[in-house]
Amino acid sequence: MRSRFLVWVMAIAAMTFMASQAFAGSRIKDIVQFEGVRENKLVGYGLVVGLAGTGDSLRNAPMTKQSLEAMLERLGVNTRDATMDTKNVAAVMVTASLPAFAAAGSHIDVTVSAMADAKSLMGGTLLVTPLLGADGEAYAVAQGSVQTGSVQASGASGSSVSKGVPTSGRIADGASVEREVAFSLDNMSKMRLTLRNPDFTTASRVADAINQHFEGTAVADNPTIVTIIPPAGQDMQRFVTSVEELEVDPDEPAKVVIDEVSGVIVMGDKVRLSTVAIAQGNLTISVQETPQVSQPGPLSSGTTTVVSQSQIKVDEEKGKKLIILQKSASLSSLVAGLNALGVTPRDMISILQAIKAEGALQADIQVM
């Protein structure tokens, strides 16, 4: 009896483990975006100073010269009639992302990129630069030393070696938030969840998972939007905190993504095949021209000419077999069959496109 009991316990434990392995759910917070909780893009125009002769040429970059003159005038220095030929200044564009709920006084990273003919921003310092939003208002102010992370070396003969992009850099915590984006969760009576990968089945599963814990609070409006309403007596902040931790098994369409440039192939687990036979072989034809001199006989009226001798060689790869994949073959069967042919990734791309053209591949092909 004791041995039977142990067998039953082990069987139940194995079934529970298999069930937990089969349901590899994702948190709702990882597959959706919450309405209003997003970043805002900021942009600004500024000057980087302190460059070691690698800045803009003022003759070729009039905006750099005008910006430098205007900045010096604000500091009480008049240079309108002076001739300036410095290359230690560069005009740059400064970009940043303002996180959701960023408070005034917090710091964010900024990216600095050269606009004109500056060779490098290494060692430069960005002067005070307001960062504007899409509405034209300043939300942050940036300033600090630019870190490019690049390496440059040059020799007396003119040869040079560079690693990285010296005309673009970052300033960690280089901008201070001066204005907050007004947004309050407490004033929202409902919120929309946007699926990162729109799908009818996934949207329904998200709504069902929420309704199982909070009945009647979620509705799948379409493959992209799921609307949630907090239950009575609960604010939106606490409700969203509870919802985003729920797990859902997202569905995915059958798709094959092909990057022909790099030869990368990505196939989803839902890809299926109808019965199809595949054969692949390489045929190589090489033609070699060997010039030879044709010398006429003595006292003849002929002339010396060059005659080409052609050698043609046909090499067909042997040992390739015809692979048959049965109907409803899974992804593993497809990969095993193609690997059995010994094909390269680029040949595999051609095979997949041919299978799709024949109608045996039950999936969409997306070529990048």
For 68, phi and psi rounded to 5 degrees? -65, -45
* Helix extents (H) in the chain: 2-22, 28-31, 62-74, 200-213, 236-243, 331-340, 345-358
Q: Of 234, 273, 228, 264, nearest to 246 (Cα)?
A: 228
Instruction: Give every CB contact of residue 150 below 8 A, 6+ residues apart in sequence.
Output: 120, 122, 162, 163, 164, 165, 166
pLDDT in tens, 46-79: 999 999 889 999 888 889 989 998 898 888 888 8
Is the pLDDT reported for residue 21 higher than 60?
no
pLDDT at 6: 42
Instruction: Give every CB contact of residue 313 below 8 A, 6+ residues apart in sequence.
Output: 285, 286, 287, 288
| DSSP helix/strand/coil, 93 | strand
What gap in Å lies between CA 194 and CA 190, rounded to an integer?
13
Edge-to-edge strands, sheet with 32-34: 32-34, 191-195, 225-228, 218-220
**Angle value at C-alpha 285, between 320 and 356, nearest 5 degrees:** 50
What gap in Å lies between CA 68 and CA 49, rounded to an integer?
10
What gap in Å lies between CA 63 and CA 60, rounded to an integer?
9
pLDDT in tens, 255-305: 888 887 777 888 877 887 777 776 666 545 455 556 776 777 676 666 777
pLDDT in tens, 143-152: 999 998 776 6
Question: How many alpha carbons lie under 13 Å from residue 172 in its C-beta half-sphere?
Answer: 3
**Structure-block tokens of residue 270:** 């839902």
Q: Of 35, 38, 30, 36, nearest to 228 (Cα)?
A: 35
**Structure-block tokens of residue 368:** 């990048």
pLDDT in tens, 195-210: 999 999 999 999 999 9
pTM of the model: 0.67
Q: Determine the length of the chain.
A: 368
* Greatest mean pLDDT among 147-156, 191-200, 307-316: 191-200
